[in-house]
Amino acid sequence: MLIHRLALYYVPAADDPLTRAGNAWLGRDPAGGAPPPRPATPGLDLPALTAAPARYGFHATLKPPFRPRAPADDALPAALTAIERLAARHRRTALPPLRLDDLDGALALTLAAPCPALHALCDDAVASLDHLRAPAPPEEHARRRAAGLDPAQEAMLQRWGYPYVMGCWRFHITLTGRLDDAAAAARRWAAVHFGPHLATARRLDAIALFIEPTQGAPLVLHSRHRLAE
């Protein structure tokens, strides 16, 4: 199996209507199935606005994508072992409702209330899988810094290879790239499309390993790992 990067994500359950809605909005199913038809969004070029998040799939990041230290034949078994151990340490928990939010000029789904159990899982994922991560090349750090980092984010970049982890992490499911003039229309159509699903009670009961097979390729869902009862 080809592996350029690995990532650990939260994704709603396969049978959750939110998953179908997210795959339809982004225009692809990272599990390999045919995505549902995209929603009609007159006046909004949805494929163009979702091109960047579509490559990563409908998800919230726990452990950001990273290049493995080991060759693919060794990296995948090691990652699966570490993820199973991580999953066994954390119990399933209820998630707060979701809401539409602005995230640095893009549209995203965020949590309507804090979820300490999810944040603890995320922190553990970042730390406990870090031995699998190869150091990021200097040009990647330079690209991260070009976006403008505060001192805490710079510290996270240096320690963990990514600025928005640990105390700088925020749950979000990215729905668009930067919007600019399309912001109002995107929010209106996203509210129509996702609105029926945002207040639904759901549980964090599994975490998902995603693989980017080659640089720039769409990330695909490899496996889901159930948390402890």
| Single pTM value for the model | 0.94
**Closest by alpha carbon to 210, among 4, 9, 2?**
9
> Longest C-alpha distance within the chain, in Å?
48
State residue 196's pLDDT score. 95
The answer to whether 7 and 66 are in contact (CB under 8 A) is yes
Q: Which residue has the tokens 């105390």?
A: 167
Task: Give 149-180 pLDDT, tens digit per residue.
Answer: 999 999 999 999 999 999 999 999 999 999 98
- Residue 170 sits at the vertex; the CA angle it makes with 99 and 144, to the nearest 5 degrees, is 125
Task: Give 182-214 pLDDT, tens digit per residue.
Answer: 889 999 999 999 999 999 989 999 999 999 999
State residue 72's pLDDT score. 80
**Closest by alpha carbon to 116, among 97, 134, 95?**
95
Task: Give 111-145 pLDDT, tens digit per residue.
Answer: 999 999 999 999 999 999 999 999 988 898 999 99
C-alpha 210/C-alpha 224 separation (Å) is: 9
Instruction: Give yes or no for residue 83 having a pLDDT over 90.
Output: yes
The answer to whether 194 and 21 are in contact (CB under 8 A) is yes
Task: Give 23-76 pLDDT, tens digit per residue.
Answer: 999 999 999 988 889 999 999 999 999 999 999 999 999 999 999 998 888 999
User: Which domains does the chain carry?
Assistant: 5-226 (3.90.1140.10)
- Direct distance between the N- and C-terminal alpha carbons of the chain, in angstroms, rounded to an integer: 32
94: its two tokens? 């209820």
